[in-house]
Amino acid sequence: MIYCGWRHTTKTICINASAFNSQKFRSFSDMAENANIDLYTAGTPNGHKISCTLEELGIPYNVQKVDIAKNVQKEEWFLKINPNGRIPAIMDNTSSPPRRLFEGQAIQLYLCEQYDKDHRISFPYGSDDYWEMVCWMTWMQSGIGPMQGQANHFYRYAPEKIQYAINRYQVETKRLYQVLNDRLASQKAAGQGLWIAGGKFTIADISCFSWVNWAEWAGADTKPFPELQSWLETIQQRPAMDRGVNVPDAFEMKKAMKTKEGEEQFAKHHSNWVMQGMKEDEARHK
């Protein structure tokens, strides 16, 4: 197991030569002393997208959990890494000064450009497969991510049950799952395997998987989509993906959903911080 030896390290992050407060990192991988990438994340679909990418690439990295339940993502030091106040973000300390990256798709493309020279989970820049992969990643970022995120919001967190909004986002999520299911089916029929682009597992699969793996939380069943279901189960069995979804904490959602009580507690915990964050945003943007 790559991350059997979790370690705590203390680092000072510098961006544009200004020193920030000391941050606590958990180091993953047995080569963690040499880790040049700092990952700022939380146990959410967008966070998993990057920890899974790093695990698949086998790059040593440090992890700092950003406690979104306490609005740490809105603190000044973090806004210098991601001005949008959202996880995930990374710092690549191999650049001078260290390079910051935010937005899942940008981070995934960057990591592959820098650290996937033999194209294990990506394609050479400019090839047909590369652009097909980028299309599906962009489709995910602007489709499944926001739609399923809103399904979560109205189905799990909103203080009032607005059936119209729940239907709107759950149906849109399922429509997008159908699009992905059909894509996978046509790839399989063309002898390209059950992968989104170019006949192999890539960051486009990681990107879509990171949200589809949370389908039940949005109230969207994956079983009516046979190719999607089979793709999902195959990816869940990849050891690197399994490690990635357990960063920075053990993946709790599926376990919580085994009992009504667990499900309610999980929803309540997340609803509390989402509501608090909304109140603060409302006060700021009257």
Output the smallest distance, CB 226 to ligand GSH, in A: 28
Binding residues for ligand GSH restricted to 102-161, rule: CB under 6 A: 103-104, 141
User: What are the tokens at 197?
Assistant: 């682009």
How far apart, in Å, are the Cα atoms of 89 and each of 12, 63, 217?
16, 11, 24
Output the smallest distance, CB 68 to ligand GSH, in A: 4
Cβ-based nearer residue to ligand GSH, 32 or 218: 218
Cβ-based nearer residue to ligand GSH, 87 or 204: 87
Choose one: 56-64, 85-93, 190-198, 259-267; the region binding ligand GSH (CB under 6 A).
Answer: 85-93
Cα(84)–Cα(94) distance, integer angstroms: 24
Cα(183)–Cα(228) distance, integer angstroms: 9
Cβ-based nearer residue to ligand GSH, 219 or 277: 277
Q: Which residue is nearest to ligand GSH (CB)?
A: 104
Q: What is the residue type of 65? A: K
Residue 167 near residue 234 (C-beta atoms within 8 A): no
Cα(242)–Cα(7) distance, integer angstroms: 20
Q: Does residue 73 bind ligand GSH (CB under 6 A)?
A: yes
Cβ-based nearer residue to ligand GSH, 44 or 202: 44
Residue 204 near residue 129 (C-beta atoms within 8 A): no
CA quadruple 14, 19, 23, 26: dihedral positive or negative? positive
Express the helix, strand and coil content of the chain in percent, nearest 5 each: 55, 10, 35
Q: Does residue 60 bind ligand GSH (CB under 6 A)?
A: no
Using the structure block, give the residue that is written with the tokens 């879509």: 208
- Of 136, 127, 237, 109, the C-alpha closest to 195 is 136
- Pick from 3, 53, 60, 88 the residue near ligand GSH by CB under 6 A: 88
Choose one: 39-47, 157-165, 231-239, 259-267; the region binding ligand GSH (CB under 6 A).
Answer: 39-47
Q: Does residue 45 bind ligand GSH (CB under 6 A)?
A: yes
Q: Does residue 252 bind ligand GSH (CB under 6 A)?
A: no
1: how many CB neighbours lie within 10 A of its CB? 9
Output the smallest distance, CB 87 to ligand GSH, in A: 4
Cβ-based nearer residue to ligand GSH, 29 or 73: 73
Footprint on this chain of ligand GSH (rule: CB under 6 A): 44-46, 68, 73, 85-88, 103-104, 141, 277
